[in-house]
Amino acid sequence: MSADEAQRTIRCLVAKVGLDGHDRGAHVIARAFRDAGFEVVYSGLHRSPDEIVQAAVQEDVDVLGISILSGAHNTLVPKVIDGLAEYGALEDTLLIVGGIVPEEDREDLREMGVAEVFGPGASMKEMIAYVREHAPER
């Protein structure tokens, strides 16, 4: 029946984690995702990894985008990943990281389960296309 047909909308959580007060980028991305037709939950500033996990699980997002400009990604991202795994949410959540992440750390993040890292200069178009292509099938 037509009413049953997929009205699937990609849901994203744009998250700011840790002691990092720079959210201009996160706002710009939230807006761009909105304009791409996604539903964007914005976490607000200074969230702990636990809060991010709680939000990701309750909101059942397809995509979790973590914005970190503080350099603490090697500490914070693993905590989020562990939390997602605890709730069985790691497998079907597309995890992306944006911000200032040195080249040598990126591979480690990928091995932990981050799908992609976007640094300065990444284009919105590119990110939106990436999310559309890789949002998990459920």
Partner 1 sequence: MTEQLIEALLDGDHRALARTITKIENRSPGYRDLVSELHAHTGHADVIGITGSPGAGKSTLVDKLAKAYRDQDLTVGVIAIDPSSPFTGGAVLGDRIRMASNVGDMDVFFRSMSARGTLGGLSTATTDAVKALDAFGKDKILVETVGAGQNEIDIVRTADTVTVLVPPGSGDDVQMLKAGILEIADLFVVNKADLPGSDRTVQELREMLGMRDRETRGHHGVGTPGMNDAVERNDGDWTPPIVETVANDGTGVDDLLDALADHRDHLESSGQLEARTRSRYAAEIRQLLREDANALLAEELDARGGLDAFVQQVLDRESDPYSVADELVAPIEECVRERRND
Q: Which residues bind partner 1 (CB under 8 A)?
A: 1-9, 11, 30-31, 33-44, 48, 50-51, 54-55, 57-60, 87-89, 138
The nearest distance, CB 31 to partner 1, in angstroms, is 7
Classify residue 91 by its DSSP letter: T
C-alpha distances (whole Å) from 5 to each of 1, 54, 59, 62 are: 7, 29, 22, 19
The nearest distance, CB 25 to partner 1, in angstroms, is 15
Instruction: Provide the token pair at 103.
Output: 């080249």
The nearest distance, CB 15 to partner 1, in angstroms, is 10
d(CA 6, CA 60): 17
Question: For residues 61 and 109, which CB has a smaller minimum distance to partner 1 in the complex?
Answer: 61
Question: For residues 29 and 117, which CB has a smaller minimum distance to partner 1 in the complex?
Answer: 29
β-bridge pairing 39-42 and 63-68: unpaired
